[in-house]
A and B are shown apart, each in its own frame.
Chain A
Amino acid sequence: MKRWFITGFLGLLILAKCAFAQDVTFTASAPEVVELGQQFRLIYTVNAQAKSFNAPTLEGFSVLAGPSTSQSSNVSIINGKVTQNFELRYTYIVQAMKEGEYTIPPAEVTVDNKKYTSNTLKIEVIKGTQGQNQGQQQAVTNQQQELPKEQISQGDLYIKIYVNKTKVHREESIIATVKLFSRLNVTRLENAKLPTLDGFIAQDIEIPPLTSLTRERIGDQVYLTGILKKYLLFPQKSGDIEIDPFEMDVYYQKASNRRQRSIFDDFFGSVESEGRKVISNKVTIHVEDLPANKPYDFSGAVGDLKMTADIDNVNTKTNDPVNLKIKISGSGNIKYINPLKIEFPADFDVYDPKISDNIKYSENGALGNKTFEYLMIPRHAGEFTIPAFNFTYFDTETNQYKTDKAGPFAIKVEKSDGDTSVAVSTAFTKEDIKYIGKDIRFIKNNNIKLRQKGKFIIGSKGFIFSYIISFILFILLFLFRRKIMKENANIVLVKNKKANKYAKKRLKNAYGFMNQNQKEAFYEELVKALWGYLSDKLGIPVANLSKDNARNHMHEKGVDEDTINQILGIIDRCEYARYAPVTEETKMDTLYNDAIKIISKLQQKLK
């Protein structure tokens, strides 16, 4: 009782919710191809509580049972969020009566006083293998009917690889589809051995998981088919490349050999599972090399592609980043496109590009785009240019190389206000000069003094001459000096020789004065005579002569003390006599005679 209550409550809750929560969908479903006499289900599904279901008339089919209604609902609460699903199904069991193509008109249903119509269905009825002798009342499925009778042949179960092209250029994409064909009731697929795909870069194309096989008409037979795998292939070498077979273990139901022994066997069906290794066909693809006239900047991009490039900040300041975004879009081997060659200004810090791609692999090949984002940081102010760059690819549509161009981009960098305050570059970094190349130094142009070959100053006439001349000059100077010295010496000699003469002359004068009794003049003349004589004899000028050095000089010359005293005594007496009264000793004639005596004496000693 309690359970009923809960169920009822839940049911109410669901109904109440459904009434306003969901969009109503109303669909019809049935196999697309059926064999003549085959029974199948025709199901109408509505996701809301519906009233007054109006079935269409089914031409060419007979309704064996139905409509039977069934409903299912589920509620899921995830993180407090409630989602509900509700399904109401009307199921018919229908048998095809005639060959041909039929259209089942839409059915009608009313939900909340609103009418909804379903989709129309197309069903093709073909002549089946089981023939028309099939009993209509047989309730077992067709597979069960045929299996006991027939041996399973190759044709009943096989795998095939399809390709959309067998002749392609290198790097041009091919779609390869691996498909299972079966006329058996396949239960399990195991041990799929995928082809190695040597010589290709393979990319899986996503397909919905194989949950049920679909019916398909091959020739005049209906097969259950399912796509097992789908690849997008990019051939990497030229020549004939083989795609290896696909292998898989397929298990299917097979009617038991045991004949119905008990009523239960018959009732539950006597089937057993059997497996077989199924191997697909091989496919050969002829790959042509790309045309030989490759542009120099071609780097392997193939497909229908396009390049765009833009720069976000053309007027910037030092240390402010600039982004260059290059986008390559289209279909082709986008994933394997390498970054382009771009010559960035040498003064920029350029980081490795940030590469991102957004590629979808589908029946149409690899579609999408790839972007390269370059981050550049100008470190110095100035005007810079990123030269134009090319993106060259092989266009599979026209079988020609094509080039997209972008740029050049001129970037103007100004000094940022607080250039030193930037955290990235420290304020005091000195840069080394970048040596770009090495070359010899330039020729010499200035002050070239040509001279005759093999001529040296050493050993030349001029050289030896200058030595000799300077030496001769030296010698001449020496000789000249010596001569002068000699001459100087002669003067003394002459004076020496004439000393006596002068003295005599003076004495004669003195004698004259004595006779005239001129005392003053006599003494003066006598002193002069004596001094002059000494001066000439000793080679000393009169001015420098004194009694002391006269004595010394005479001493040196070997004059005895007596004589020296005598001559100096006479000079003393003369000077004394000039100013004092005349005594015996200072009488003029005595002095005169003494002077003559001493001079003749000296004359002998000083020679």
Chain B
Amino acid sequence: MKKLIYLTIALYTVLFANAQETDSLLVKANNLYAQAKFDEAINVYENILKIGYEAPEIYYNLGNAYYKKNVLSQAVLNYEKALLLAPNDEDIQYNLELANRLVVDKIEKLPVFFMRAWVNSWRNIFSSNMWAYISIIAFIVTLLFISFYLYSRRIGFKKLSFGLSFLTLLLCIVSLTFSYQQKQKVISGSTAVIMSPSVTVKSSPDASGTDLFVLHEGTKVWIEDKVSDWQEIKLSDGSKGWLKAENIETI
């Protein structure tokens, strides 16, 4: 146990040492934004991301700066990224909705099975890391309850801790799954945003394919398949088509 504490402390100090310079960059970028120098603010935010650090707030602030510069596609992209890292943040949701209103394409969403929607909404309460913490705590609590069960002499206490240990074990497994799924959402790159002002979606991964429909910048798509530099995308209304990978950027 002590070892673990030392390890985490060591990890944090390393992170903080590196984070110091990025922190000053962040303050600088936020000041630039406050002075309405959006171009410069965008540069600094992008630099922080380039160094290899991220936070939902950075994506959010960057999205704001792009929004102010009327670069809709980048704004939507960064808001979506921020939302993946902090799925339950109200500000991000609000600004994304505002940006989406400016998106040209109006796509009807397919209805989601209510159980699935329910599970999704639970899952989106926390980020991957938060779920991971929860699973660890739940695991430890489960072990504690099992110990109680084993060593307690009172029958009532034994029964109670036995039941509770099952509950916390379930919580542990569920939060582990959620954590894993949240992580997958971030790293899989299965969603993307259209970056070109207008792009024609084809029926096959080939320039000679039939034109199916036209999409405009800022529209969110799901990536289904890939053939060389063509990608098959799916819209939230279920329609599918192929377009060149250069037209989209994964979230």
A145 at interface, CB cutoff 8 A: no
Residues of B within 8 A of A453 (CB): 49, 52-54
> In angstroms, how far is the closest chain B Cβ from the Cβ of A70?
93
B160 at interface, CB cutoff 8 A: no
A340 at interface, CB cutoff 8 A: no
Q: List 29 A-B contacts (CB under 8 A).
A: A438-B98, A439-B98, A440-B99, A442-B64, A443-B30, A443-B33, A443-B57, A443-B64, A443-B65, A444-B61, A444-B91, A448-B26, A448-B55, A448-B57, A450-B22, A450-B55, A453-B52, A454-B187, A456-B187, A458-B135, A458-B179, A458-B180, A462-B8, A462-B11, A463-B136, A467-B136, A469-B4, A473-B1, A481-B151
A453 to B179, CA, bound (A): 16
Q: Is A441 in contact with B94, judged by CB distance below 8 angstroms?
A: yes
A481 to B129, CA, bound (A): 35
A439 to B67, CA, bound (A): 10
B247 at interface, CB cutoff 8 A: no
B223 at interface, CB cutoff 8 A: no
> In angstroms, how far is the closest chain A Cβ from the Cβ of B137?
10
Partner of A478, one of B30, B67, B150, B187: B150
Q: Which of A461-488 contact B (CB under 8 A)?
A: 462-463, 465-467, 469-471, 473-474, 477-478, 481
Binding site for A on B (CB under 8 A): 1, 3-4, 7-8, 11, 15, 19, 22-23, 26, 30, 33-34, 48-49, 52-55, 57-58, 60-61, 64-65, 67-68, 91, 94-95, 98-99, 128-129, 131-133, 135-136, 139-140, 143, 146-147, 150-151, 176, 179-180, 183, 186-187
Residues of B within 8 A of A451 (CB): 15, 53-55
> In angstroms, how far is the closest chain A Cβ from the Cβ of B42?
12
Binding site for B on A (CB under 8 A): 438-445, 448-454, 456-459, 462-463, 465-467, 469-471, 473-474, 477-478, 481
Residues of A within 8 A of B133 (CB): 457
Partner of A444, one of B34, B60, B65: B60
Q: Is A452 in contact with B53, judged by CB distance below 8 angstroms?
A: yes
Partner of A458, one of B15, B22, B60, B131: B131
Give the number of A-B contacts (CB < 8 Å): 109
Residues of B within 8 A of A466 (CB): 4, 136
A478 to B151, CA, bound (A): 9
Residues of B within 8 A of A438 (CB): 98
> In angstroms, how far is the closest chain B Cβ from the Cβ of A475?
10
Residues of A within 8 A of B33 (CB): 443
Residues of B within 8 A of A465 (CB): 4, 7
Q: Is A462 in contact with B147, judged by CB distance below 8 angstroms?
A: no
Q: Is A477 in contact with B55, judged by CB distance below 8 angstroms?
A: no
Residues of A within 8 A of B8 (CB): 462
Known contacts A441-B91, A444-B57, A453-B52; is A470 also within 8 Å of B128 by CB? no
Choose among A444, A465, A470 the residue with the greatest number of B CB atoms under 10 Å from its CB. A444
Residues of B within 8 A of A467 (CB): 136, 139
A413 to B179, CA, bound (A): 61
Q: Is B143 in contact with A474, judged by CB distance below 8 angstroms?
A: yes
Closest residue of chain A to B140 (Cβ to Cβ) is A470
A402 to B150, CA, bound (A): 100
Residues of B within 8 A of A450 (CB): 15, 19, 22-23, 26, 48, 53-55, 58
Q: Is B132 in contact with A456, judged by CB distance below 8 angstroms?
A: yes
Q: Is B58 in contact with A448, judged by CB distance below 8 angstroms?
A: yes
A448 to B19, CA, bound (A): 11
A366 to B57, CA, bound (A): 69
Q: Taking A453-B54, A459-B183 as given, write out 17 further A-B residue pairs in contact, using a Cβ cutoff of 8 Å, ordered by the A residue number.
A: A440-B67, A441-B95, A442-B64, A445-B30, A451-B15, A451-B55, A452-B54, A454-B187, A458-B128, A458-B131, A458-B135, A463-B132, A463-B136, A466-B4, A470-B139, A470-B143, A473-B143
Residues of A within 8 A of B180 (CB): 458-459
Closest residue of chain A to B98 (Cβ to Cβ) is A440
Residues of A within 8 A of B147 (CB): 474, 477-478
A473 to B3, CA, bound (A): 13
Q: Is A462 in contact with B7, judged by CB distance below 8 angstroms?
A: yes
Closest residue of chain A to B49 (Cβ to Cβ) is A453
A439 to B95, CA, bound (A): 8
A466 to B52, CA, bound (A): 26
> In angstroms, how far is the closest chain A Cβ from the Cβ of B188?
12
A488 to B180, CA, bound (A): 46
